[in-house]
């Protein structure tokens, strides 16, 4: 069971996300009917550690084995989802992750009956891309050496 639930004020979500970099590019995912791209990852399940969740999610989404390098950010995000208009309070733990495969280009993966597009975006492309999380558009250029706490509030 995922650690995501509705409340009177909106949805609480506990998520993990993989920051996978290679040659000045970031691996992103886009669902078929979504206007935006985001990082691979997903929700943490009950009795699952964040470390277990990120490796499981990366494998389930990409079919590729990965190695966890280190945690980067614990982000507390308050936002309204663009498509569903649902209000979120999300805790997301971002990990630096390395794929255990020599090289990959852009690729498609079927997951839960939908085809997800995985695309390597140059760090510089993020500024012009409809991409979440917003903070990564600048912070991708200098990843923290230790776990950093963040708060991201959507502008009204």
The CATH code of the domain at 4-153 is 3.90.79.10
Listed in order, strand segments (DSSP E) in the chain are 4-7, 10-19, 21-22, 25-30, 41-43, 66-80, 87-99, 107-111, 114-122, 148-153
pLDDT digits (tens, 9 = 90+) for 39-85: 999 999 999 999 999 999 998 888 888 999 999 999 999 999 888 88
pLDDT digits (tens, 9 = 90+) for 86-113: 999 999 999 999 998 867 788 878 777 7
Rounded to two decimals, the pTM is 0.91
Give the list of residues 6+ apart from residue 128 with CB closer than 8 angstroms, or none: none
Please name the helix (run of DSSP H) or strand (run of DSSP E) that holds residue 137, with its range, or none: helix 136-139
């Amino acid at each position: 069971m995922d650690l995501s639930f509705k409340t009177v004020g909106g949805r609480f979500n506990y998520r993990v996300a993989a920051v996978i970099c290679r040659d000045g590019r970031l691996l992103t995912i886009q669902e078929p009917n979504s206007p935006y791209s985001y990082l691979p990852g997903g929700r943490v399940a009950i009795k699952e550690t964040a470390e277990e969740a990120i490796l499981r999610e990366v494998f389930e989404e990409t079919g590729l084995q990965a190695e966890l390098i280190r945690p980067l950010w614990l982000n507390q995000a308050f936002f309204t989802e663009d498509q569903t208009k649902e209000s979120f309070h999300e805790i997301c733990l971002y990990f630096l992750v390395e794929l255990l495969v020599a090289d990959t280009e852009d690729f498609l993966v079927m997951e839960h009956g939908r085809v997800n597009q995985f695309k390597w975006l140059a760090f510089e492309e993020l500024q012009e891309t409809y991409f979440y999380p917003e903070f990564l558009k600048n912070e991708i250029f200098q990843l923290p050496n230790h776990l950093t706490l963040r708060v991201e509030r959507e502008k009204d």
